[in-house]
Chain A
């Protein structure tokens, strides 16, 4: 199968750091994408990891461990506008489609 698992919901406080985890079956995917989706809007691309390690982009970082089938998205200095759903997506072995997890809804409170 091609399961991608992530927590359903998380809460955090403005200014804090939050880590959203994602686990997947290692045999099914070649890389991991993270997307952000605000309510009522389309998902937007955040990051892509194909090799092990940490990729940093401003306040957002993404980590991948291929052997463990594990990724996380790290959001620093949280802002209210970061309240959104965060979708983890695996790139299938044919490089032709993304398989999405059901998303983690993040609520940032003052």
Chain B
């Protein structure tokens, strides 16, 4: 079956612009989480959605937002981009962390802000 699909794979933006990243989870997975990965900080939790509701949010500024649609696809948006937003953005879906299924990650979107 298809894995987690993230688009686009690579993106170059200018400071001050905004960007929207897309994630399609594995069919049947209702939970979608977003992480930012940088060399120094590792994987940092952005937010988690379940059935179109944001259930959990990490410690990121309000410039970072997201949403989930009725088909479980999710988008995240970053407004007023800063150089420090350059990172790999990973989306992950899960059948249920409580049951030990873990995340399945997408290949990520590599965002470069210049």
Query: Which A residues are closer than 8 A to B by beta carbons?
Result: 30-31, 33, 35, 41-45, 48, 50, 87, 89, 91-92, 94-103
Question: Is A96 a contact of B42 with CB atoms below 8 Å?
Answer: no
List, sorted by A's number, 20 A–B pairs whose CB atoms are closer than 8 Å: A42-B90, A42-B108, A43-B105, A48-B100, A50-B100, A87-B42, A92-B56, A94-B55, A94-B56, A95-B98, A96-B31, A96-B56, A97-B33, A97-B56, A97-B58, A98-B33, A98-B45, A98-B102, A100-B42, A103-B42
**Taking the nearest CB of chain B, how far is it from the CB of A6, in angstroms?**
10
Cβ contact of B97, chosen from A95, A100, A102, A103, cutoff 8 A: A95
Cβ contact of B41, chosen from A91, A94, A102, cutoff 8 A: A102
- Does B114 belong to the interface (CB within 8 Å)? no
Query: Which B residues are closer than 8 A to A by beta carbons?
Result: 31, 33, 35, 41-45, 48, 50, 55-56, 58, 90, 96-98, 100, 102-108
Question: Is A42 a contact of B107 with CB atoms below 8 Å?
Answer: yes
A95 (CB) vs chain B CBs: closest residue: B98
Question: Is B103 a contact of A96 with CB atoms below 8 Å?
Answer: no
Question: Is A100 a contact of B103 with CB atoms below 8 Å?
Answer: no
**Taking the nearest CB of chain A, how far is it from the CB of B40, in angstroms?**
8
- In Å, the complex CA distance between A76 and B30 comes to 36
Residues of A contacting B: mostly: strand
Question: Is A102 a contact of B98 with CB atoms below 8 Å?
Answer: no
Question: Is A48 a contact of B105 with CB atoms below 8 Å?
Answer: no
- Among B98, B102, B104, chain A packs the most CB atoms within 10 A around the CB of B102
- In Å, the complex CA distance between A62 and B62 comes to 38
- CB neighbours of A30 from chain B (8 A): 98
Question: Is B55 a contact of A44 with CB atoms below 8 Å?
Answer: no
**Taking the nearest CB of chain A, how far is it from the CB of B43, in angstroms?**
4
**Taking the nearest CB of chain B, how far is it from the CB of A38, in angstroms?**
12
Given A42-B90, A87-B43, is A98 in contact with B106 using a C-beta cutoff of 8 Å? no
- CB neighbours of A95 from chain B (8 A): 96-98
